[in-house]
């Protein structure tokens, strides 16, 4: 067996082996052993610990790849709740991990979960789970000498929104004359998780304005610094995901193969990989899976709380 594509791989580094689950299937993990002696101590009982191990791997996948999208109806996950669940899940399999400090780091990273967990305590559907998770997180914090906050801060929106990520295909151009326009899907590998609407396209238009040609770009951004490439041009996008740059008239003669918009996050990824023909179908399947997770029998607290 080989690893699935990274976008659908829930991965966990255990003692002596790496475990890889495909989030789109219920298949057992791909096991890559790199230390026979260390792995031999526990691999024989993998079936007994598989659910707990997969939970840690899945939560890690959600942190990296969750396809939040207003267009597709997939609400964003609260990163603090996710961190709390990951900390508790990590502690449950601490004896199988290849990192002695994994639990301590996970608990420290979950400190901000105190407030959203308290806010869910009175929820008729989620209150019991939230209270239990808060208690377990507090116990782990005590065990590792980590002080969790107690005072409630002013409420803030955990995920910046651009009209719910809504993306207008073209927008209002007033007296401008649109000469060319198009759209391109956004490559998830080129932007951090949550930086864009995972199911929306980025749009571009060449308009004539005041006697000059301007390339306008619009991507469903959420405040993460982004740029966009269009042929030989590179455009900086603002916090809303919009950008514009004057262009020579020759841009109208770019071959169709070069009239492709590539959105990326500087410092996160370089947009130089060849096009992946399997990406649209794979990402559609991941979005569909995520959309169904809120009502799944094994949905996490973070998934059930999403969008509330």
Q: Which positions ≥6 away from 280 have C-beta within 8 Å?
A: 185
pLDDT digits (tens, 9 = 90+) for 169-216: 334 445 678 999 999 999 999 999 999 999 999 999 999 988 899 999
Question: Which stretches of the chain score pLDDT less than 50?
Answer: 151, 154, 158-173
pLDDT value for 173:
42
Q: Give me Rg for the CA atoms of the chain.
A: 22
User: What is the spatial order of strands in the sheet that 233-237 belongs to?
Assistant: 233-237, 226-230, 261-264
pLDDT value for 89:
98
pLDDT value for 165:
39
pTM of the complete model: 0.85
Whole-angstrom distance, CA of residue 226 vs CA of residue 236:
7
Q: What is the DSSP string of 159-173?
A: S--SSTT---SS---
Give yes or no for a contact between 236 and 219, defined as CB atoms under 8 angstroms apart.
no
Closest CA to 34 of 106, 115, 108, 98: 98
pLDDT value for 175:
64
pLDDT value for 249:
82
Half-sphere exposure of 34 (CA within 13 A, CB side): 8
Helices (H), the chain: 36-40, 46-65, 79-92, 102-109, 114-120, 127-143, 279-292, 301-305
Give yes or no for a contact between 205 and 223, defined as CB atoms under 8 angstroms apart.
no
Distances (CA, A) of 47 to 81, 121, 223: 28, 34, 42
Domain residue spans of the chain:
6-143, 177-279
Report residue 273 as tokens. 């990989």
Helices (H), 110-256: 114-120, 127-143
pLDDT value for 126:
97
pLDDT value for 87:
98
Distances (CA, A) of 205 to 8, 54, 69, 221: 33, 44, 23, 17
For the chain, percent of residues with pLDDT exceeding 90: 74
């Amino acid at each position: 067996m080989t690893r699935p594509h990274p976008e659908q791989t829930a991965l966990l580094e255990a003692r002596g082996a790496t475990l890889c689950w495909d989030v789109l299937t219920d298949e057992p993990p791909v096991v890559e052993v790199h230390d026979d002696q260390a792995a031999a101590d526990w691999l024989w009982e993998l079936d007994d610990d598989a659910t707990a191990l997969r939970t840690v791997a899945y939560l890690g996948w959600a942190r990296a790849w969750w396809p939040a999208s207003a267009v597709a109806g997939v609400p964003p996950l609260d990163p603090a709740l996710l961190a709390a669940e990951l900390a508790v899940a990590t502690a449950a399999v601490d004896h199988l991990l290849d990192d002695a400090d994994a639990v301590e780091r996970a608990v420290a990273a979950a400190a901000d979960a105190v407030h959203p967990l308290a806010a869910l305590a009175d929820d008729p559907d989620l209150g019991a789970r939230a209270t239990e998770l808060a208690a377990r997180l507090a116990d782990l914090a005590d065990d590792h000498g980590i002080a969790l906050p107690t005072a409630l801060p002013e409420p803030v929106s955990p995920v910046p929104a651009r009209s719910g990520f809504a993306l207008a295909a073209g927008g209002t151009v007033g007296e401008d004359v649109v000469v060319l326009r198009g759209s391109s899907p956004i490559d998830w590998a080129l932007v951090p998780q949550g930086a864009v609407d995972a199911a929306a396209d980025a749009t571009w238009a060449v308009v004539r304005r005041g006697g000059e040609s301007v390339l306008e770009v619009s991507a469903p951004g959420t405040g993460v610094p982004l740029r966009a490439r269009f042929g030989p041009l590179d455009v900086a996008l603002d916090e809303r995901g919009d950008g514009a740059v004057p262009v020579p008239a020759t841009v109208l003669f770019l071959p169709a193969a070069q009239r492709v918009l590539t959105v990326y996050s500087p410092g996160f990824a370089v947009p130089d990989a060849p096009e992946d023909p399997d990406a649209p179908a794979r990402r559609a399947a991941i979005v569909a899976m995520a959309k169904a997770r809120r009502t799944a029998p094994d949905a996490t607290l973070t998934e059930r709380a999403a969008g509330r």
